[in-house]
């Protein structure tokens, strides 16, 4: 937190402003430093807006795409779990938040995982749509 304040003070100084607390001519009256604090808050507001558009908004978009992919999950989709296990969806139980994935077709080995542990669907429309967006 102290480093953030130090950086903000450096930004204010670079803009030709002095922080209100360091101004020796401030009389301490009601109007003292009013313009300085407004000019000081403008870069902070710009930094917060940039942070929102660079960090928060893309993450929300990514989460909504993942949620849509899980809603469209169906039998025989090739999937990869968050643990890296590849398989084919054998059954989707949305009420139980569970997916049964066949991981070995020769022996019929299946595992049950939670719906949220499906990382991506391989092949089909999902990968084509993601490739076009990139």
Q: Which two tokens stand for residue 60?
A: 């929300």
**CB of 66 closer than 8 Å to CB of 73:** no
* Domain enclosing residue 84, as ranges: 74-133
Q: Are residues 84 and 101 in the same domain?
A: yes
Say whether both 64 and 122 belong to one domain. no
33 is written with which tokens?
Answer: 């430093």
User: Looking at 25, 45, 69, which one is the last position of a domain?
Assistant: 69
pLDDT recorded at residue 126: 44
Residue 128: predicted pLDDT: 47
Per-residue pLDDT of the chain (134 residues; tens, 9 = 90+): 566 666 667 776 766 655 555 545 554 444 444 567 778 888 899 999 999 999 999 999 999 999 999 999 999 999 999 999 999 999 999 999 999 999 998 998 999 999 999 999 998 554 444 555 54
Q: Are residues 114 and 129 in the same domain?
A: yes
d(CA 100, CA 91): 5
Query: Rounded to 5 degrees, what are φ and ψ at 86?
Result: -100, 145
């Amino acid at each position: 937190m102290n480093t953030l304040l130090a950086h903000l003070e450096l930004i204010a100084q670079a803009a030709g402003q002095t922080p209100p607390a360091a101004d020796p001519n401030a009389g301490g009256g009601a109007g003292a430093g009013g313009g300085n604090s407004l000019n000081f808050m403008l870069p902070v507001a710009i930094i917060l807006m940039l942070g929102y558009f660079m960090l928060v908004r893309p993450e929300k978009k990514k989460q909504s795409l993942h949620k849509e992919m899980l809603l469209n999950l169906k039998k025989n989709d090739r999937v990869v779990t968050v643990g890296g296990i590849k398989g084919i969806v054998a059954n989707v139980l949305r009420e139980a938040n569970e997916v049964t994935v066949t991981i070995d077709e020769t022996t019929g080995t299946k595992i049950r995982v939670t719906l949220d542990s499906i990382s991506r669907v391989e092949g089909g429309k999902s990968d084509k749509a993601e490739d076009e967006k990139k």
